A and B are shown apart, each in its own frame.
Chain A
Amino acid sequence: MSNILKREAVFAVTGLVTVLMFVEYFFFPQDWIVASTIRNWAVIIYNISLGLGGVRLIQQHVMGTQRRKENWQFSALFLVAFVVMLLTGLAGYLGTGVATSNGIYNWLFVNVYTPLGSTAYAITGFYIFSAAYRAFRARNLDAALMLVAGCFVILSNAPVGEVIWSGIPAIGEWFRFVGQVPGMRAFEVVGALGMIAYGFRALLGKERGFYAGGAEE
């Protein structure tokens, strides 16, 4: 029974949904209630999976804290933050329908979450700076070409490039549109073809990894 649920049932549902979506795309250009309903289910399932993710996260960190695993203090901090945000957010939501109407929740969001988020993003600039210095070495011709192209693109992205030399934006743009775009196009087209191939293999039951957790046939 469990094998049927794990393999055949999943295979059948995947196949059915795929066929229905194909039918809608080719035969119902406006809207088809069957496909629309299934998409609604997908959104609901997606939301349930978010809840499951939250539960799993709590389990993991409770376990980590209880067993005093490495860095368990962070797990404990996570649990405290989770509970505080959940309770204050719910209090706001139950009161007015908007979580941020709760003063504590809003204060934490604006004064803790926002600066932390901005800092985490901004700090990557420092790492990129250091990494560029260490990694961009002209060890061979290929690396040298990439380095030169990279420098032109970097400078063309900032107004200062044009001040240094009016040709920099033009060269940077050439690298961007003539050098990079064709490669990216090829990458994206090949990726799309790969997705189609993967879809067909899944439909034919040859791609089992995503639902049986096992090797392909």
Chain B
Amino acid sequence: MSDQNIFDKLQNIDRRVFYWVLFITLMVPFIYPIGLPVKVVQNTRDLYEGITGDNINPGDIAIMNFGYGVSAWSECAPGFTVCAKALFREGARIVFMGSQYDVELSMNKLMNDAREDFANKVYGVDYVFLGYFTGGESAIAQLATDAWTVYPSDHYVTPDAQIPLMQDFHGWQDVTVVLSSDTGDVGSYFLRQWQGSHGTRLAEIGIAMNGSTDYPYYLAGNYFGLSIGSRGGAELEVLIREPGEATTAMDSINASHLLIVLAVILANVGYLLSRRKA
């Protein structure tokens, strides 16, 4: 190792150095926030406009699917929270459900993050939490045709027959809009079994990694809107004019993204110069 020149060293920096540099870089913005402006892109704007204004009426039923677990809270929860707030403020009724077994934790977080909006709503009338479902795409298909067979009761084991909101929700015909927030495939199940089959309006609040998979469906009109990762969440917070978790996280996103590019440049400078020397 000692006979390495500077170019070799640039290419072979110990990974622990990077871990520490990244850790410190991520911490600094939390202590000294930078607050760069977040520009709203069209796919996020389409999502927000699709659930507000003329596109939603008081009393409309929206499905919001928690397709993410606690591990993806940072990416999905902020956008999901803004959408729930926006729908509630338009007077829509929301059916919450989830394909992750820790869905209750995500629901509790949502109720905490949007507590002022939930405070004005009545459980069972304005919103209902159906809880966890299994059955993959078959369950989503069945939800479209006969929702009560997938969920005979809500998460708190109250039978559907005793829940006022469920009297108006039996299948796809009753639903105005579906918002699915996923780390996996559930959004595509809704896409095939609801949007494709019945033309239900559908939007996705996904993780950044799934952005490349989701864009073609957004551009084709299958998704009327699309929020991607923490950035999408921050854009939604800009649109609703309530900075939240995602806006705070943007500083760290800025720092980490910039650092990755700098590291790649550093490694390549070392690589190209060492090759020229050889």
Any B CB within 8 A of the CB of A7? no
Taking CB atoms, residues of chain B closer than 8 Å to A30 are: 145
Mask, B236-271, CB within 8 Å of A = 1, is 000000000000001001111111110111111001
Count of B interface residues, CB-CB < 8 Å: 63
Identity of the chain A residue whose Cβ is nearest the Cβ of B234 in the assembled complex = A159
Shortest CB-to-CB span from A149 to chain B, Å, is 12
Knowing A158-B250, A159-B36, the reply to whether A118 touches B260 (Cβ < 8 A) is no
Contact A181 B219 (CB under 8 A): yes
A144-202: which residues lie under 8 A (CB-CB) from chain B?
Answer: 147, 150-151, 154-155, 157-163, 169, 173, 176-177, 180-181, 184-185, 188
CA distance A185 to B256 in the complex (A): 30
Mask, A16-48, CB within 8 Å of B = 1, is 000000000100001100011001101100110
Contact B149 A40 (CB under 8 A): yes
Knowing A36-B142, A157-B208, the reply to whether A109 touches B263 (Cβ < 8 A) is no
Shortest CB-to-CB span from B104 to chain A, Å, is 6
Contact B71 A132 (CB under 8 A): no
Contact B260 A128 (CB under 8 A): yes
A41-90: which residues lie under 8 A (CB-CB) from chain B?
Answer: 42-43, 46-47, 50
Knowing A47-B134, A133-B263, A154-B257, the reply to whether A36 touches B268 (Cβ < 8 A) is no
Knowing A39-B145, A40-B149, A109-B105, the reply to whether A155 touches B71 (Cβ < 8 A) is no
CA distance A157 to B250 in the complex (A): 10
Knowing A154-B257, A158-B253, A159-B38, the reply to whether A36 touches B146 (Cβ < 8 A) is yes
Any B CB within 8 A of the CB of A114? yes
Mask, B136-158, CB within 8 Å of A = 1, is 10110110011001100001110
Shortest CB-to-CB span from B221 to chain A, Å, is 13
Contact B138 A155 (CB under 8 A): no
Q: Interface of chain A, helix or strand or loop or mixed?
A: helix
Count of A interface residues, CB-CB < 8 Å: 59
Any B CB within 8 A of the CB of A110? yes
Contact B261 A155 (CB under 8 A): yes
CA distance A100 to B266 in the complex (A): 49
Contact B157 A97 (CB under 8 A): yes
Contact A158 B102 (CB under 8 A): no
B117-172: which residues lie under 8 A (CB-CB) from chain A?
Answer: 134-136, 138-139, 141-142, 145-146, 149-150, 155-157, 171
Any A CB within 8 A of the CB of B74? yes
Contact A118 B74 (CB under 8 A): yes
Contact A43 B150 (CB under 8 A): yes
Taking CB atoms, residues of chain A closer than 8 Å to B263 are: 129, 132-133
CA distance A42 to B41 in the complex (A): 40
Shortest CB-to-CB span from B18 to chain A, Å, is 5
Any B CB within 8 A of the CB of A136? yes
Any B CB within 8 A of the CB of A6? no
Identity of the chain A residue whose Cβ is nearest the Cβ of B267 in the assembled complex = A133
Contact B150 A177 (CB under 8 A): no
Contact B134 A43 (CB under 8 A): yes
Contact A130 B105 (CB under 8 A): no
Knowing A40-B149, A43-B142, A184-B212, the reply to whether A162 touches B39 (Cβ < 8 A) is yes
Any A CB within 8 A of the CB of B32? no
Contact B156 A160 (CB under 8 A): no
Any A CB within 8 A of the CB of B7? no
Any A CB within 8 A of the CB of B69? yes
Contact B146 A125 (CB under 8 A): no
Contact B134 A46 (CB under 8 A): yes
Shortest CB-to-CB span from A162 to chain B, Å, is 6
Shortest CB-to-CB span from B243 to chain A, Å, is 13
Shortest CB-to-CB span from B208 to chain A, Å, is 7
Identity of the chain A residue whose Cβ is nearest the Cβ of B15 in the assembled complex = A130
Identity of the chain A residue whose Cβ is nearest the Cβ of B158 in the assembled complex = A97
Any B CB within 8 A of the CB of A137? yes
CA distance A130 to B231 in the complex (A): 22
Shortest CB-to-CB span from A75 to chain B, Å, is 21
Identify 12 new A-B residue pairs, CB closer than 8 A, beyond the known A118-B74, A163-B36: A39-B139, A39-B142, A120-B71, A129-B18, A130-B19, A132-B263, A133-B263, A138-B268, A154-B260, A181-B212, A181-B215, A185-B216
Chosen A-B contacts, 25 in total, with CB atoms closer than 8 Å, are: A36-B142, A39-B138, A43-B135, A98-B156, A113-B70, A114-B70, A120-B71, A129-B256, A129-B259, A129-B260, A129-B263, A132-B260, A132-B264, A133-B264, A133-B267, A137-B267, A137-B271, A157-B229, A158-B231, A159-B36, A159-B38, A160-B257, A177-B215, A177-B219, A181-B216
